Structure 1
Amino acid sequence: MGTHWDRLDDQLRPAVEASTKQFERVRPELEAVTREMRTTIRDIFQETELKPLFVTARTKTVASFREKASRTLQPAVAGDAPTLEYPDPLRDMHDMVGVRVIVSLPHEIREAASLIKRQRSEFDIRADREKDIGSIESGTYGYSSRHLLIRTIQNSAVKRFQEALGEPTRPNGSHVFEVQIRTILAHAWSEIEHDIRFKASNPRAWSPYFDRQFTATAAMLETVESTFSELHERYETVTGYWDEEGEGAAPLTPRRIREVWQTLLPHVDRKSDDDWGWAAELLAAHGLKTTTDLVDLLQAEVITRVREALEHRYSPGPDRLLDDVLLWRFGKRHIELTAGDDNHRRESLLRRYRQMETFRSTS
């Protein structure tokens, strides 16, 4: 088991050697193209809300170029000589220049790709594919990555590279390069996998156990990224609750109260029915009518102190906990506004109120 170059037919070696020498000669100009593409891609995000963690770029190494240029296609007819997969590699390869955009969360991959594809005066998008689609449809695992093939339009750095390349290339400033967009977790996974799987000093040392472990870590990666995405969505939702001119102004209907409660306190949802009307009545009694009013009431520190003060024998459901939090905030006024003629409720509220006062005085 060797490299493509090691296994290359002797008749094909001269062509690959010639293109490799030419690549080595023009590589300095190609590095200038790489730097410009990195700067151009990075600057796209300067005035946007999306801020990638970092944007990197690389020019293909001479060794990597020779190895890829040595790939062959199986002959269509048995016995025929193999042919090169890239007969003109300096023009056929699209990854001699590569840019990577690394973001935090999976949904930012889509946003970054959209922003790049809008730069129609700079680029022409030749291909756009999602690397994880095949693994999803086949029921396997792999890291998620968006790959764009982009052609530059009348780029001056590309023209200088093409002039150095010489005939028969016409220096028109058009060159296809690759942009990969992935999350930081996927980036770390792919870098480690690449170092072990593709850069191993002795490919014969590879074991099926490694494949199994990489598959397992890819599955865990997908789970972690899904959790981070869910956390991000929940954070965005809760942040919106505090926008008094937006989501925070939404009125406290029973349905809205349930939605806010299940977002803020999903671990305290032990209601046996979907009737949140009583909660709406309790809040309305104190003039709490908007979403922001409710999230301001349901602060974690307050709920913790209420639990400590009352030493609940059983974990309270939403109705009881809301009642206790309102009692904590409004004291006797809560009793007067909500007990009415119900003596049993009044006595229960008074007992809990005394417990709270005792706790406050001793804590």
Structure 2
Amino acid sequence: MDDHEAVVASSLVQYAELLPRLNAASDAIGDAIRARLRDDGLNHHTVQARVKDPGSVREKLGRLTVAGKPKYGNGIVQLDDLIGVRVIMFLEPDIADVATALKGQFHCREDDDKTSSQRRNGQIGYAGRHLILEVPAENVPVGCQTFVGERFEVQIRTVLQHAWAAFEHDIRYKGGAEANAEVDRAFTMASTLIELADAQFSAINDIVKRRKAESTADFAANPATEITGDILQDMLARLLPEHPRSQARQYGWLGDLLAANSVRTVADAEELFGAADWSAVAKKMDYKFPAGQVRIADDFLLKNWGSEYIARTKSVGNDVKRESKLKYRLERMQD
């Protein structure tokens, strides 16, 4: 057994010992990221967190450079993707907002915007945003207190980009397919179509937002109608056209927040939100990107009712840390 083989073997033994901790860290980091995206009102498809399987670790540690030397000569300490997280978005423009949110939550060691690099260089192929993050020692995300210093990789991409990447990986790597010009051409064509489709999805989203902003909602004719999540989604799309849509289920949760404050009809909500100074809320909160519609609505209600709002809504939903988060946000508004 040569030195490289010995390093790989030793690393795999070490990795087996680390697996229980890595699995726990993966769960905690995944939960923290989901909570952050929910708090910021960022509309996303799914968050997937996983730990690299031992076979993949062995394969990666066995890689050689072009010069024939071990690429990871120091073993698993060089691997930043033992824990991997995928954040799958519906719209490509939202990827940048997610990256900003996560870089504000964790320490960022690397940021590789593959989509921008491809387009700058006139290339077509894999697209997405890759971050290497680390659990920080200060302002530790909820649930990650015992995993300070843990590094992990985050891949942020659209549903279509994810489908392309998963299929390509399955064909080229898992399938063991040899390099083939015909296959390369087909993948290039597919990536071009996916880029066009992502652009069309963003255009469709803009058209829907504009139409809702320009039109008078049907429910306005029945102001006594009780609020529903669908009604709130239409209302905020009209009042906050510059802010991205939140996840559909969050509008129902916003309805529960309003009900806890005796706001139950369309007329009540229209009067309340229609008088809001949204720019003042955004200025006080100093958002790093346009907040999701439900997030800024929640912040407006907090600004409007203060500590009474905290008392009335701290138990609405399943976020056990909501009360402490609201208190922190209220302090920021009062600075």
1:186-201 map, 5 Å: 186-200=161-175
Other-structure match for 1:108: 94
Q: 1:40 aligns with which of 32, 42, 46?
A: 32
AA in 1 matched with 2:69: T
Structure 1 equivalent of residue 150 of structure 2: 175
How far apart, CA to CA, are the structure 2 residues paired with 1:143 and 1:11? 35
2:83 aligned residue = 97
Q: Does 1:126 align with 2:109?
A: yes
Distance in 1, Cα, partners of 2:157 & 2:201: 15
Structure 1 position 95, deviation (Å): 0.6
Partner residue of 2:193? 220
- AA aligned to 2:183 is F
Residue 57 of structure 1 aligns to which amino acid in structure 2? A
CA-CA distance at 1:74 after TM superposition: 4.5
User: Does residue 153 of the first structure (1) align with residue 145 of the second (2)?
Assistant: no
Q: Which of residues 15, 18, 25 in structure 1 aligns to 2:17? A: 25
Match of 2:285 in 1: none
Return closer, same or farther for 1:248/1:227 CA change in 2, 3 Å cut-off. Answer: closer
**Is 1:208–2:191 an aligned residue pair?**
no
Q: Distance in 1 between matches of 2:115 and 2:30?
A: 24
* Cα-to-partner distance string for 1:178-218 (whole Å, 9 max, x where unaligned): 11111111111111111001111x444x4221111000000
Aligned counterpart for 2:73 among listed residues 87, 93, 108: 87
**145 and 72 in structure 1: CA distance in 2 versus 1, 3 angstrom threshold:** same
Cα distance, 1:63–1:159 mapped onto 2, change above 3 Å = farther
Q: Which amino acid aligns with 2:79?
A: M
Aligned counterparts of 1:141 and 1:107: Cα–Cα separation in 2:
18
> Which residue number corresponds to residue 257 of structure 1?
none
TM-score of the aligned structures, taking structure 2 as reference length: 0.60
Change (3 A) 1:248 1:15: closer
Among candidates 103, 119, 129, match of residue 136 of structure 1: 119
- Pick the aligned partner of 2:64 from 72, 79, 94: 72
Other structure's SS at 2:44 match: coil
Contact 1:151 1:177 in 2 (8 A): yes
2:42 alignment counterpart: 50
Percent sequence identity over matched residues? 30
Q: Which moved more, 1:240-249 or 1:101-110?
A: 240-249
Shift of 1:117: 2.0
SS where residue 38 of structure 2 aligns? Answer: coil
Alignment of 1:322-333 (within 5 A): none
The TM-score, its normalising length taken from structure 1, stands at 0.55
Structure 1 residue matching 2:190: 3-state secondary structure: helix
Asked if the contact 1:32/1:157 (under 8 Å) is kept, the reply is no
**Bigger Rg, which one:** 1
Corresponding residue SS for 1:213: helix
Q: Aligned to 2:93, what secondary structure does the other structure show?
A: helix
1:253 match: none
Residue identity in the other structure for 1:196: I
Matched residue type, 2:150 = H
Alignment deviations for residues 278-326 of structure 1 (CA, whole Å, 9 cap, x no partner):
xxxxxxxxxxxxxxxxxxxxxxxxxxxxxxxxxxxxxxxxxxxxxxxxx
Structure 1 moving runs of 4+ over 3 Å: 154-161, 243-249
Structure 2 equivalent of residue 117 of structure 1: 103
Q: 1:146–1:48: structure 2 CA closer, same or farther, 3 Å change rule?
A: same
Q: 1:49 to 1:157 in 2, by over 3 A?
A: closer
* Backbone CA RMSD of aligned residues: 2.8
Structure 1 regions of 5+ residues with no counterpart? 1-8, 76-81, 162-172, 250-363
Match of 1:360 in 2: none
Amino acid at match of 1:231: I
**Total equivalences in the alignment:** 219
SS of equivalent to 1:84? coil
Question: 1:337 corresponds to which residue?
Answer: none
Aligned to 1:239: 212
- Tell me the distance in 1 between the aligned counterparts of 2:38 and 2:144: 23
- Matched letter for residue 76 of structure 2: L
Counterparts of 1:222 and 1:48, CA distance in 2: 26
Contact persistence 1:240–1:246 (CA under 8 A): no
Hey, what does 2:307 align to over in structure 1? none
Q: CA deviation at 1:51?
A: 2.4
The amino acid of 1:132's aligned partner reads T
Post-superposition CA distance 1:200-250 (Å, at most 9, x none) = 1x444x42211110000000111111111111112111211136999989x
Residues 186/209 of structure 1: CA separation in 2 closer, same or farther (3 Å cut): same
User: Whose relative contact order is higher, 1 or 2, with alpha carbons under 8 Å and at least 6 apart?
Assistant: 2
Name stretches of at least 5 consecutive residues in structure 2 with no aligned partner.
Answer: 218-234, 240-335
Gap change, CA 1:159 and 1:92, over 3 Å in 2: farther
